[in-house]
């Protein structure tokens, strides 16, 4: 039977991503509540990189909340845009470097049984979350990749409800990608760094 934190994480996580799809600002505080829940769950199951990821999510959620409200033109609301190609390359490099560093740390300082996958999911999620705070549409395919890997890892760890949540996330990510494409400015302009 799933632990209460897994069930509560499922509900708050699904609601948070549903609000993200609609570009609703309330996704940020609900996401913080979800992160606190998953800190408890992931610590209990030995997914230590994911614990650290949740701490990062709390900090970047505060930034995202502010940026969505004031990061747009004339300090107004932010609009959906595309990432610059050079920025995309830097972000891909960040995924590789972060995965390598976290894998090394988990192998040397924890009893993690899945250091590479745990680290890769964490690295992809860090980059996707940063992209989300900037409302770069390309965040959605990064989330989709991270979620695909997460479903397998969470199933392996016996977190079946959370694995099902990541399947729900997949559907919501596809919906988000579609809705955000419709919200792009007609010119499809590239974001400023």
Instruction: Delimit the domains of the chain by residue range.
Output: 4-74+81-183
Residues 41-71 pLDDT 10s:
888 888 887 788 899 889 999 999 998 988 8
Residues 6+ apart with CB under 8 A from 123: 94, 95, 96, 98, 99, 102
pTM (global) more than 0.75: yes
**HEC per residue, 125-160:** HHHHHHHHHCCECCHHHHHHHHHHHHHHHHHHCCCH
Give the chain's end-to-end CA distance (angstroms, integer).
46
Statement: residue 173 has pLDDT above 90: yes
Q: Residue 82, SS3?
A: strand
Statement: residue 142 has pLDDT above 80: yes
How large is the average pLDDT for residues 87-93?
Answer: 98
How large is the average pLDDT for residues 111-125?
Answer: 92
């Amino acid at each position: 039977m799933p632990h209460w934190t897994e069930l509560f994480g499922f509900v708050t996580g699904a609601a948070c991503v549903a609000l993200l799809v609609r570009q609703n600002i309330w996704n940020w505080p609900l996401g913080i509540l979800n992160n606190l829940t998953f800190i408890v769950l992931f610590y209990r199951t030995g997914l230590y990189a994911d614990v650290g990821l949740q701490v990062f999510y709390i900090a970047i959620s505060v930034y995202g909340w502010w940026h969505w409200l004031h990061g747009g033109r004339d300090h107004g609301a932010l609009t959906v845009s595309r990432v610059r190609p050079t920025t995309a390359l830097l972000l891909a490099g960040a995924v590789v470097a972060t995965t390598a560093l976290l894998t090394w740390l988990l192998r040397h300082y924890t009893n993690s049984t899945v250091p590479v996958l745990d680290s890769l999911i964490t690295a992809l999620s860090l980059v996707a979350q940063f992209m989300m705070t900037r409302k770069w549409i390309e965040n959605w395919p990064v989330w989709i990749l991270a979620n695909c890997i997460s479903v397998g890892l969470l199933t392996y760890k016996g977190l079946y409800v959370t694995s099902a949540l990541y399947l729900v996330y997949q559907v919501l990510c596809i919906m988000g990608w579609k809705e955000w494409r419709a919200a792009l400015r007609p010119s499809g302009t590239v974001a400023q760094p």
